[in-house]
Structure 1
């Protein structure tokens, strides 16, 4: 008779996700993962596969959690400007207990150039982020908050680039006030 799992998958996956977020893929060893996740090595392999498969699942888990929080914040926004302000604030401040930066941005810098699977996953994630920004920009243009001088798709690409840059800079010892100033300046490019 097979033994039942003595752990909740998402709970231990969250621990792996956080470790990859803190240390990156290359620096994180299987021993680190086993210790942080609190499960046996065999259970890790049986449940999640090898380190690369676990990393991909951790990326998916990060995306699910991140997108849910982002969508909830945007949905609560009464205006497009408020939605973008929420997004930028979320990019810069994150959560008090979360590692700095972004697992996706960190992974793009570390792995995308040499890992086709990670690159494809990140391309899909970043395309979805640009689509979300485009929808918000169209909302703002329709309601007269944002200028219609520029194409919403081009503005979304620009803002996504700012978003990625802010997430990368958030990993450094850059003052948050500077990051907020960059976000405010970027928002000014949209104003009607």
Structure 2
């Protein structure tokens, strides 16, 4: 007779996500995962197969987590400028009890060149961010907040590049004041 799981899969996956997000794939050992997730090694293998599969599921979990938070914040924005400001603030300030930066950016930098699965997930996530940004820029262009000098998709690519840089810098000791200055100048470029 098979034993029932003694843990909630989504809870331990969230713990794995935060550990991978903070430490990266290579630095996180199976012992680290077992200890941090609070489950037995056998349970980890039975549920997630191996470290790589667990990592890919953790990346997916991060995507769902991030998308939910962005959607909630953007829904409250009354203008396109407020929406873009929310995205920058979300990147710069992060959330309490989460590592700084972005798991997609961290994973892309660490692994994408040699791991096709991670590359595909990062590229897909980046495309979703650019689509979201393009929709916000188009909204701002239509209501006169943002310049029409560039296509919304081009501005979205530019904004995403700035956000990716901020996500990397957020993992360093660079001050939030500097990150905010960069965000402010980047937002200023939307006005033309």
- Give the TM-score normalised by structure 2: 0.99
TM superposition shift of 1:96: 2.5
Deviations 1:28-49 (A, max 9, x none): 0001100000001110011111
Task: Name the counterpart of 2:185.
Answer: 185
CA distance in 1, matches of 2:98, 2:177: 19
1:34-45 matches, cutoff 5 A: 34-45=34-45
CA distance in 1, matches of 2:54, 2:99: 19
CA distance in 1, matches of 2:22, 2:121: 20
Task: Name the counterpart of 2:46.
Answer: 46
Deviations 1:153-181 (A, max 9, x none): 11000000001100000000000000011
2:118 is aligned with 1:143? no
- Give the TM-score normalised by structure 1: 0.99
* Unmatched segments (≥5 aa) in structure 2: none
Which shifted more, 12-21 or 94-103?
Answer: 94-103
CA distance in 1, matches of 2:101, 2:146: 28
Task: Name the counterpart of 2:28.
Answer: 28
TM superposition shift of 1:191: 1.0
The RMSD of aligned alpha carbons is 0.7
CA distance in 2, matches of 1:139, 1:23: 37
Task: Name the counterpart of 1:80.
Answer: 80
1:91-130 matches, cutoff 5 A: 91-130=91-130
In the comparison of the two structures, how many residue pairs are matched? 192
Deviations 1:105-159 (A, max 9, x none): 1001100111011001111110010000000000000000001011111100000
